């Protein structure tokens, strides 16, 4: 039997006979003595095969990278001058007494300590990629995070309760993944986008503190921080106010970071209203490490000759804002052109700027193609509001508020991190007072900013029917270093309020009954006040490990095309399976030459 893990051996085990199992990380033949770095999930240990032990030495000559070995040997100190301080086992080595090759290996497509492997190759051979120390470390930390969360919530009286994976398709939100039912022909299950409705039903059922490490599914376009299937730390509780839920969840995240990474997060987390976050940072998930802020200019641009600024300021949903970059006057024309191209990704048609060479010289001390279109008094107000100094640069955004916010918000982060305007460390915050709804120009109707079960803020219930655009909600998001790691709200627990929200969203009474009858009925049977939150486990672990993508913290992820390169899923199925499900496929049109 194995007595120890390879990476867990140190001088405490000197002179002991131990048995190890692992993979050959590297084999080195030093002219008479063969050294093998044996690796398992805990790390490496150096194994020494002496030619005096003829049987093991002959086996060692056959060994190659990624062979699986069983090794029994004696722990001894490494010779002077050969200690490896980078390894936990770096002061010792294991002199082999007996060795067995449990399995051979083909030559792997990459070395396990190679940091420059294409992601395609890594995902295609994920079982090998997961052997790499960095991936082992990532999944180890993920395990520690889930355990820390479970321990905390258990101590706070939460029950771990599973909710269905096969459920009902409902409107709103992203597209559902549909699962055809063989037993109920022409009917479909949907994979859950979240356990939202079931966890609310659990509150009605009297389980006043619920959590689940829940698998969720959304059929949406992907990017680095999204996957078609992902994991939420899903939480719901009854009888707690908005402030009490936030306080408890903040305590959980502080405990998590302290337990797993020995990081002290602030107590309490700062709080920003949604309006303040958009005004200052152009984002509802601001990266507070970046010290740059946006400056509002819409009010002074409604009568300027510069058409781009004036028309944006005159729009009911328009905005003109500025981003001051300290010492930005050093930026080259090429850098400015690159930033102009960057904001174009977010729909911005251009990126106006003013370089401040010398304030004391009036307009001659300024440099910009737009100066001739701006009156002197307006220029002076811009300089005063932004607090510009010699050597600074001011970028401008003018368009619909959504475009300006997204473009300047992204530019703020990019410049902040590229040019030394970002602090190190962890900067969490709560964003609160979200609007209940946002206007969907494509469908010409209101949509829920969070989800349609979010409670309106106190005193805003009457606005749901008359002025839905002004109604605020009891929603709250936790953000960390520019990422939303958790979003939640106090829920609607009264049927009449839920009906008003459905009406504001254009969901007819018939549709509401068809899709949500079980929830609407449950709310009539003594539903308690309740609320909760869902944290993105993948996203939290990505941040904690410093990974570039959530794919690096998920054991078997999908690509950005929602494909598994390892198993080649999704794939076709045979006609017999389709016939059982009463499904006939339409022929895909071939592109014309």
Residue 471 buriedness (CB in 10 A; 0-12 / 13-18 / 19+): buried
pLDDT tens digits, residue range 88-131?
Answer: 999 999 999 999 999 999 999 999 999 899 999 999 999 999 99
Residue 87, domain member (yes or no):
yes
CATH for 520: 3.30.930.10
Residues 92 and 148 in one domain: no
Residues 438 and 414 in one domain: no
Mean pLDDT (the chain, rounded): 94
Residues 213 and 328 in one domain: no
pLDDT tens digits, residue range 203-212?
Answer: 999 999 999 9
pLDDT tens digits, residue range 379-403?
Answer: 999 999 999 999 999 999 999 999 9
Q: Of 54, 75, 103, which marks where a domain is finished?
A: 103
pLDDT tens digits, residue range 443-458?
Answer: 888 999 888 999 999 9
Residue 386, domain member (yes or no):
yes
Residues 329 and 398 in one domain: yes
How does strand 428-432 pair with strand 475-480? antiparallel
Residue ranges of the binding site = 172, 218-220, 227, 450, 484, 491, 536-539
Asked if the bond preceding 122 is cis, omega within 30° of 0, the reply is no
Residues 260 and 300 in one domain: no
Q: Of 422, 444, 470, which marks where a domain is finished?
A: 422
Residues 392 and 447 in one domain: no
Percent helix, strand and coil across the chain, each to the nearest 5: 35, 25, 40
**Looking up tokens 């052997």, which residue turns up?**
131
Residues 92 and 16 in one domain: yes
Residue 285, domain member (yes or no):
no
Residue 120, domain member (yes or no):
no
Assess contact for 486 and 533: CB atoms under 8 A. yes
Residue 240, domain member (yes or no):
yes
Q: Of 405, 422, 439, which marks where a domain is finished?
A: 422
Alpha-carbon span 318 to 298, nearest angstrom: 8
Residue 399, domain member (yes or no):
yes
Residues 442 and 401 in one domain: no
Residue 208, domain member (yes or no):
yes
Residue 168, domain member (yes or no):
no
Residues 401 and 436 in one domain: no
Alpha-carbon span 155 to 149, nearest angstrom: 10
Instruction: Spell 182-197 as b/e; 16+ CB within 10 A means b.
Output: eeeeeeebbbbbbbbb
Please state the pTM of the whole predicted model.
0.93
Residues 403 and 462 in one domain: no
Residues 445 and 365 in one domain: no
Residue ranges of the binding site for L-aspartate = 172, 218, 450, 491
Residue ranges of the binding site for ATP = 218-220, 227, 484, 536-539
Domain that holds residue 23: 6-103
**Three-point CA angle 507, 509, 514, nearest 5°:** 90
What pLDDT is recorded for position 442? 81
Assess contact for 282 and 372: CB atoms under 8 A. no
Our count of domains for the chain comes to 3
Is residue 589 scored above 70 in pLDDT? no
CATH for 82: 2.40.50.140
Alpha-carbon span 518 to 328, nearest angstrom: 58
Average pLDDT over residues 552-560: 95
CA distances from 370 to 130, 326, 329, 362 (A): 54, 20, 16, 15
Residues 72 and 145 in one domain: no
């Amino acid at each position: 039997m194995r007595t120890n893990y390879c990476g867990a051996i140190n001088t405490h085990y000197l002179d002991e006979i131990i048995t190890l199992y692992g993979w050959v990380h590297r084999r080195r033949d030093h002219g008479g003595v063969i050294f093998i770095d044996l690796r398992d999930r805990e790390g490496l240990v150096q194994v020494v095969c002496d030619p005096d032990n003829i049987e093991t030495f002959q086996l060692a000559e056959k060994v190659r990278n990624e062979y699986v070995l069983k090794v029994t040997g004696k722990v001894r100190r490494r010779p002077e001058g050969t200690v490896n301080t980078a390894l936990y086992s770096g002061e010792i080595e294991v002199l082999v007494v007996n060795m067995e090759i449990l399995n051979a290996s083909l030559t792997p497509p990459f070395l396990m300590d190679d940091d420059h492997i294409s992601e395609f190759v890594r995902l295609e051979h994920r079982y090998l990629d997961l052997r790499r120390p960095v991936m082992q470390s990532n999944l180890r930390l993920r395990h520690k995070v889930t355990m820390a969360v479970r321990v905390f919530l258990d101590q706070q009286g939460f029950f771990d309760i599973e909710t269905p994976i096969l459920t009902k398709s409902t409107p709103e939100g992203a597209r559902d993944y549909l699962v055809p039912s063989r037993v109920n022909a022409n009917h479909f299950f949907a994979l859950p986008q979240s356990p939202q409705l079931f966890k609310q039903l659990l509150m009605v059922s009297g389980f006043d503190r619920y959590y689940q490490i829940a698998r969720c599914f959304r059929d949406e376009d992907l990017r680095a921080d999204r996957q078609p299937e992902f994991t939420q730390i899903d939480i719901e509780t009854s009888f707690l106010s908005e402030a009490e839920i936030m306080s408890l969840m903040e305590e959980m995240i502080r405990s998590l970071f302290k337990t797993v990474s020995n990081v002290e997060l602030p107590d309490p987390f700062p709080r920003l209203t949604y309006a303040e976050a958009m005004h200052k940072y152009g984002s509802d998930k601001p990266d507070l490490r970046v010290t740059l802020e946006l400056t509002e200019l819409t009010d002074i641009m409604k009568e300027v000759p510069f058409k781009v600024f004036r028309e944006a300021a005159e729009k009911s949903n328009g905005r003109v804002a500025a981003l001051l970059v300290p010492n930005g006057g050093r930026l080259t024309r090429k850098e400015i052109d690159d930033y102009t191209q960057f904001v174009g990704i977010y729909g911005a048609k251009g990126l106006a700027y003013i370089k401040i060479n010398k304030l004391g010289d009036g307009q001659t001390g300024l440099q910009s193609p737009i100066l001739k279109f701006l009156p002197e008094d307006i220029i002076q107000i811009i300089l005063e509001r932004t607090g510009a100094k010699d050597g600074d640069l001011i970028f401008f955004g003018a368009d619909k508020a959504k475009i300006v916010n997204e473009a300047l918000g992204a530019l703020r982060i990019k410049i902040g991190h590229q040019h030394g305007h970002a602090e190190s460390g962890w900067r969490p915050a709560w964003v609160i007072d979200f609007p209940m709804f946002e206007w969907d120009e494509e469908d010409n109707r209101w949509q829920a900013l969070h989800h349609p079960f979010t409670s309106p803020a106190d005193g805003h219930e009457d606005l749901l029917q008359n002025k839905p655009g002004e109604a605020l909600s009891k929603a709250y998001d936790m953000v960390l270093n520019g990422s939303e790691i958790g979003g939640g709200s106090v829920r609607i627990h009264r049927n009449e309020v839920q009906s008003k929200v459905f009406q504001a969203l254009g969901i007819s009474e018939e549709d509401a009954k068809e899709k949500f009858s079980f929830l609407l009925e449950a709310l009539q049977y003594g539903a308690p006040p309740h609320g909760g939150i869902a944290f993105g486990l993948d996203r939290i672990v990505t941040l904690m490990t410093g990974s570039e993508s959530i794919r690096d913290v998920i054991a078997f992820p999908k690509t950005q095309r929602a494909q598994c390169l390892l198993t080649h899923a999704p794939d076709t199925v045979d006609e017999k399976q389709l016939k059982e499900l009463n499904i006939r496929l339409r022929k895909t049109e071939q592109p014309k030459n």
